Structure 1
Amino acid sequence: MATPQVTQLKITGMSCASCVGRAETALRSVPGVTDASVNFATETAQVTHSGPVSALTEALADAGYPAANTQTTLQIGGMNCASCVAKIEKALTADPAVVDAKVNFATESAVVTYIDGATDPLKLAELSDQAGYPARVADGAADDQADHAKTEEAHALTRATIFAAVLALPVFILEMGGHMIPAFHHWVHATIGTQTSYLIQFALTSVILFGPGRVFYLQGIPSLLRGSPDMNALVALGTGAAYLFSLIATFAPQILPHGSANVYYEAASVIVVLILLGRVMEARAKGRTGAAIRKLVGLQPKTAWVEQDGTFIDRPIADIVVGDVLQIRPGERVPVDAEVLDGTSYVDESMITGEPVPVGKSPSDQVVGGTVNGTGALRVRATRVGADTVLAQVIHMVEQAQGAKLPIQGLVDRITAKFVPAVIVVALLTIAVWLIFGPAPALPLALVTGVSVLIIACPCAMGLATPTSIMVGTGRAAELGVLFRKGDALQQLQQAEVVALDKTGTLTLGRPELEHVTTTNGFDHDDVLRLAAAVEARSEHPIATAITRAGPAELPELSNFESLTGLGVRAVVEGRKVLIGSPRLMEQNGVDLIDLSAEADQRAAEGATPLFVAIDCQAAAMLAVSDPIKPGTEQALERLHAMGLTLAMVTGDNTRTAQALADKLGIDHVTAEVLPDGKLAAINALREQFGTLAFVGDGINDAPALAAADIGVAIGTGTDVAIETADVVLMSGDLRGVANAVEISRKTMRNIKQNLGWAFGYNILLIPVAAGVLYPFSGHLLSPALAAGAMALSSVFVVSNALRLRRVRATLPESTEEHSIRTVTS
């Protein structure tokens, strides 16, 4: 019988004290539970049980009180190839409290989702340690130390590689020089002698293998003994076999078959040098893949000028709290998100919006941490600090996306988990075939081919193919103002066949603007607009606000203002009776609209709202008010069409207005006059008709549609609810970002496929070559040293190809118009 254990769980969904009894009943009904106590105040359950934790969580979920999950990130050491990923994930998920574990080879990290209270990050790190991969819980300060440690490790690796190369060079010259230049072979034999040459090679190779190369044995042999061999095991087996055979040939040649007492010291030493060199190049390249994160982190200043007792003192950013008053001098970076109290200036917000034109700031405006102040001085009050700032949230989203595992990576992980054991089997079969069927002397030929197979088949390139492209692609996307909040959106977006768009606030600015004024009966344009703006200034209707905004700053006084519900407004301005409203209002007051009706009908057909102005009972003007199309929208939709995507509009606006806008923008399909739940039905219908669907929206009413779509894309100037629901966030309100997001997604996935094609193709083609399949035709075998070089270059090729994504440019540069900035939440 299993030993009882006590597990504490965090419970969600409890709304009153009666929930406690139901949750306890559910827990006590689980076989093996001897006691269960639920605390409503702390929302926790303490359970004594002898069964699996999963049974407890299932019972709670069935009762409607699911256990809370939480996430932690572990930094993991000792990973050297793709097969390590599966082993660490298996070790972590062996804990029944772990819901999911995703290990990223490129970032050397694991994101673990676990049942809150049933385990903790330190225990999870221990599981990784026990599997042979030392781990620690990631945090900000520790991450800085880790970056420093990684830099030091890279420098140490470089020094070890140079040291090994210096020792390997004489070994290579002594052995291979004699093979390539017969005269040199005779000279060595006549001067120092063959045996002395072997002894020199033995001494130098021993220093290499037990010095810089010992890492392969310290990590490879334990992994072999655990039954889960990795890349180090392949190198240890290959170099170890070459070294031991050479050792026998040097000190006990009589026990080997006649003619087979050859040495392979140069193979063992050069293999170590080349693999170390490959790791150096790989480490440097992988370091560059995280450049986007480091660039974002570097945007935040370390200190700020804080007002204290009438003076400003320099204080660390970590010490700033909400409400602190700060001074931002000309040319300085804004330290935290804040509200301007005093001063005016222009602030460069390109790091958030991607737009190069500085934005004017004055009292009551918001400034974003990390942006650059212009020539004016600002006095501001901190509104968001630390992890709550826009910049911190952007960094968090990029980190989440970079650490994500795409669906395509799951297949790669399953293959690489079985790959190394399969390679060892292939190497053993290769040796056996050569020993049985190979020409004399068969033993050296079998050794060369077996070692070559072990060395050339390292799955590093496979493991790096996907995560490096994700890191670079999502990092570059963030620099262009596109945030992939969920990693799988990167793969799904390039599969989209239809893009559905909300109208108000997405295709349009989301606020009415006066677009046209037509006067009649000799009335002056400016005079009519001045009087109309004065009257509408008393109304709070959005259309009234648009007319007032279009009028002059100085407005005349008015009297007798009256709002006529559903019809319009009237007032007396400068002694003149001003009437503004619908045709029905004009008809009731005997105003003849014959000169304005035709144009009003035309404007209405184009989606605008026509209003009429009468002055002293005489028709004066027709005002056309509409929600203007956002700058760049037409350009963005043309680009999306050129990409082969179908465009649809889903809106709650009336059909006539929506269709007029769709005709103007070239949108293929319109669904209008729908409520939020109707948008869900419209999205499902579009998906059935066209295929994978991306929905673009900005409002609270768009949140259900964003969640239901295959890929939800939120406009960054929209509501926080929409942003939290979306898979992709555009930092500015410009729709050209959608085209850029699709382009980046397609290029990143193309890059991943190129990498996987290379990695798998390389192994499929070269493993048979290493096994000697070309020997009957050419009489030559692939040297183990050349195999090591090819293996190292394979990984370097994959990472270098991924780094090309850093040069991706926005296919459509975004508008330089100012956009308001909203908080982006993760």
Structure 2
Amino acid sequence: DRVSGVFVPAVITIAVITTIIWLLAGQTFGYALARGISVLVISCPCALGLATPVAIMVGNGMGAKNGILFKTAVSLEEAGKVQIVALDKTGTITSGQPEVTDILPAEGVTETELLTLACALEKKSEHPLAKAVLKKAEEENLATGEVTGFQALPGNGLSAILGSDKLTGGSMKFISSQTKVSADLNRRAEQLAEQGKTPLLFTRNGKLLGIIAVADVIKEDSPRAVKELQNMGIRVVMLTGDNERTAKAIGAQAGVDDVIAGVLPDGKESVIRALKEQGKVAMVGDGINDAPALTRADIGIAIGAGTDIAIDAADIVLMKSQLSDVPAAVRLSRATLRNIHENLFWAFFYNIIGIPLAAGVWIPLFGWTLNPMFGAAAMSLSSFCVVTNALRLNLFQIHNAAKDKTIKNPVTLHISHDENIKEEKENKTMVKVTVNVEGMMCGHCEAHVNKAIQAAFGAEDVVSSHENGTTVFSVPEKVDEAKVEEVIKEAGYEFKGITQE
């Protein structure tokens, strides 16, 4: 667009000046006009106009053939420029289908009792780790009761009432704050974490029941995908809510450069914001909690098997749900951008040679003139070269890493742990805004409103609920109520009021 904005008026100016100069040189009006028309005809705006869209069209088509959906031309262009790739762990690096590996009951508790109570608590949870516990209970044919007062505590655990008993479950950090954990169970939990397993602790009425260890297997292509990204000069970071020991074990298996552990669901967006200060960031995720981070990143990449909200928030969707398609997307983007530059070269190559010839610069020296018909033929030939060059992208092998090149300025990250990010946020004076919104019907609606609010106000921690009819977010200072109402209406929903505190 920038090239065309300069090229077109420049060529028209050259044509007018050419006509005037030949008239001043004493030539007839017909001769002078013929030189000006030759300049207009041979200057190849169609080649310039084709250079980018044809390459992008072919690149998009190649991506679609290989299960990589670029939603916009901008996402296809920008993907090749990323310097940092942040990978969610569960469902992205790992299969997202964890299994129970160890059951360690506390003294006086049987394995069956521990598993039965854990299953009753986890039954209402949507977390992938809960599904592993439920699957194990089904295999053991265990009958579980129905809990009441179920509460999910994001990033910590669960609590519920079963009969007259209060059940809790979650991470070592969370359970340790609720009850005393014996040194033996603490040591065994650490050993499990070092093996890449996630230890889940359960209590009944404040008394520890034991540990159930769950492991999520790394996808077969994850280490190869990470290695290919690193060979391109891209820094690879893994984000997870797991404790640091487990996270480092998984990170070592995958071969990532950096691991950020203990990230709460609403903290991923903050991590991405911090990473963006150090380079161009792509976020790869699959879950509802990943949507704000996918929106915040320069390029959001969603796993095709993930949630609809994540897919809606992303710029690129990997339909085959293979992590190896991330370096393939970067590779295709780089090839497309390189092809665009080649096309622009060919367009300018013809113009640099043809415009002086058409203007009659060489007539006084060599007597060379250009018939407008030959100018039209040269213009067509330049368009033919541009289109043919773009079609070469159909031969590009997007999964072939043999010719990958490292970016010129690879990033050296200075990772701030999630605790530091939270501390920075706490030190800010933030305004909590609650907007009453009518018309949201599902998760898609929530994601749509979140995206609109983030784009309009640069808001943090945006959470919409169609059940409550609210959108809650944080900003450094109070927002204009009329502006909020305008944003909500433009998104297609009804504004019903606002509170700021």
Question: How would you bin the TM-score normalised by the shorter chain?
Answer: 0.5 to 0.7
In 1: Cα distance, 2:285 partner to 2:59 partner:
24
Q: What SS does the aligned partner of 1:510 have?
A: coil
In 2: Cα distance, 1:605 partner to 1:474 partner:
43
Change (3 A) 1:529 1:736: farther
In 2: Cα distance, 1:456 partner to 1:658 partner:
62
Change (3 A) 1:567 1:487: closer
Change (3 A) 1:556 1:458: closer
Change (3 A) 1:699 1:548: closer
- AA aligned to 2:349 is G
Aligned to 2:132: 546
Aligned to 1:493: 79
Kept after mapping to 2: 8 A contact 1:736/1:812: no
Kept after mapping to 1: 8 A contact 2:16/2:36: no
- AA aligned to 2:346 is W
Change (3 A) 1:750 1:538: same
Aligned to 1:56: none
Change (3 A) 1:448 1:548: closer
In 2: Cα distance, 1:716 partner to 1:512 partner:
19
Q: What SS does the aligned partner of 1:647 have?
A: strand
Deviation at 1:656, TM superposition (A): 2.4
In 2: Cα distance, 1:529 partner to 1:565 partner:
16
Residue deviations 1:272-308 (CA, integer Å, cap 9, x gap)? xxxxxxxxxxxxxxxxxxxxxxxxxxxxxxxxxxxxx
Matches within 5 A, 1:360-509: 409=1, 411-419=2-10, 421-429=12-20, 431-432=22-23, 435=26, 449-509=35-95
Q: What SS does the aligned partner of 1:696 have?
A: strand
Change (3 A) 1:430 1:762: farther
- AA aligned to 1:462 is L
Residue deviations 1:453-490 (CA, integer Å, cap 9, x gap)? 23211411111111111212112212211112233222
Deviation at 1:811, TM superposition (A): 0.9
Deviation at 1:782, TM superposition (A): 3.3
Aligned to 1:738: 326
Residue deviations 1:352-407 (CA, integer Å, cap 9, x gap)? xxxxxxxxxxxxxxxxxxxxxxxxxxxxxxxxxxxxxxxxxxxxxxxxxxxxxxxx
In 2: Cα distance, 1:775 partner to 1:706 partner:
60
Deviation at 1:602, TM superposition (A): 4.2
Q: What 5-or-longer segments of structure 2 have no aligned partner?
A: 105-109, 146-161, 171-175, 202-210, 402-442, 449-501
Residue deviations 1:725-760 (CA, integer Å, cap 9, x gap)? 111122132211211211121111111111122212
Deviation at 1:633, TM superposition (A): 1.2
In 1: Cα distance, 2:144 partner to 2:308 partner:
40
Change (3 A) 1:535 1:503: same
Residue deviations 1:118-146 (CA, integer Å, cap 9, x gap)? xxxxxxxxxxxxxxxxxxxxxxxxxxxxx
1:636 corresponds to 2:222:
no
In 2: Cα distance, 1:455 partner to 1:737 partner:
44
Change (3 A) 1:492 1:567: closer
Change (3 A) 1:544 1:478: closer
Matches within 5 A, 1:90-101: none
Matches within 5 A, 1:640-651: 640-651=229-240
1:700 corresponds to 2:288:
yes
Kept after mapping to 2: 8 A contact 1:607/1:657: yes
- AA aligned to 1:666 is G
In 2: Cα distance, 1:703 partner to 1:746 partner:
26
Matches within 5 A, 1:232-251: none
Q: What SS does the aligned partner of 1:802 have?
A: helix
Aligned to 1:769: 357
**How does the TM-score come out when normalised to structure 2?**
0.61
Deviation at 1:546, TM superposition (A): 3.0
Equivalent residue for 2:216, pick from 617, 620, 627: 627
Q: What SS does the aligned partner of 2:385 have?
A: helix
Change (3 A) 1:708 1:533: closer
Q: What SS does the aligned partner of 2:81 have?
A: coil
Change (3 A) 1:810 1:552: farther
Change (3 A) 1:671 1:557: closer
Q: Which has the higher contact order (CA 8 A, sep 6+)?
A: 2
Aligned to 2:158: none
Change (3 A) 1:630 1:555: same
- AA aligned to 1:739 is P
Matches within 5 A, 1:600-619: 601-609=190-198
Aligned to 1:684: 273
In 1: Cα distance, 2:63 partner to 2:73 partner:
12
Matches within 5 A, 1:651-666: 651-666=240-255
1:722 corresponds to 2:295:
no
Kept after mapping to 1: 8 A contact 2:363/2:369: yes
In 2: Cα distance, 1:489 partner to 1:556 partner:
49
Q: What SS does the aligned partner of 2:259 have?
A: strand
Residue deviations 1:303-337 (CA, integer Å, cap 9, x gap)? xxxxxxxxxxxxxxxxxxxxxxxxxxxxxxxxxxx
In 1: Cα distance, 2:131 partner to 2:315 partner:
34
Equivalent residue for 2:348, pick from 747, 751, 760: 760
Q: What SS does the aligned partner of 2:282 have?
A: strand
In 1: Cα distance, 2:129 partner to 2:259 partner:
25
In 2: Cα distance, 1:611 partner to 1:720 partner:
28
In 2: Cα distance, 1:553 partner to 1:656 partner:
29
Kept after mapping to 1: 8 A contact 2:119/2:144: no
- AA aligned to 1:804 is R
Q: What 5-or-longer segments of structure 1 have no aligned partner?
A: 1-408, 437-441, 519-527, 569-581, 613-621, 814-821
- AA aligned to 2:222 is T
More off after superposition, 772-781 vs 708-717: 772-781
Deviation at 1:498, TM superposition (A): 0.8
The ranges of structure 1 where at least 4 consecutive aligned residues each deviate by more than 6 angstroms after the TM superposition are 442-445, 528-539, 550-554, 556-559, 561-564, 596-600
Aligned to 1:59: none
Kept after mapping to 2: 8 A contact 1:430/1:771: no
Kept after mapping to 1: 8 A contact 2:18/2:32: no
Change (3 A) 1:794 1:566: same
Deviation at 1:449, TM superposition (A): 4.2
Q: What SS does the aligned partner of 2:224 have?
A: helix
Deviation at 1:567, TM superposition (A): 8.0
Kept after mapping to 1: 8 A contact 2:119/2:137: no
Kept after mapping to 2: 8 A contact 1:434/1:446: no
- AA aligned to 2:22 is I
Aligned to 2:413: none
Change (3 A) 1:430 1:740: farther
Q: What SS does the aligned partner of 1:714 have?
A: strand
Residue deviations 1:611-633 (CA, integer Å, cap 9, x gap)? 89xxxxxxxxx985312212311
In 1: Cα distance, 2:166 partner to 2:218 partner:
30
1:793 corresponds to 2:381:
yes
Q: Rg larger in 1 or in 2?
A: 1
Kept after mapping to 2: 8 A contact 1:716/1:732: yes
Kept after mapping to 1: 8 A contact 2:44/2:347: no
**How big is the alpha-carbon RMSD for the aligned residues of Structure 1 and Structure 2?**
4.4
In 2: Cα distance, 1:634 partner to 1:478 partner:
24
Kept after mapping to 2: 8 A contact 1:536/1:545: no
Change (3 A) 1:424 1:445: closer
Residue deviations 1:249-281 (CA, integer Å, cap 9, x gap)? xxxxxxxxxxxxxxxxxxxxxxxxxxxxxxxxx
Change (3 A) 1:444 1:721: closer
Kept after mapping to 2: 8 A contact 1:430/1:450: no
Change (3 A) 1:610 1:504: closer
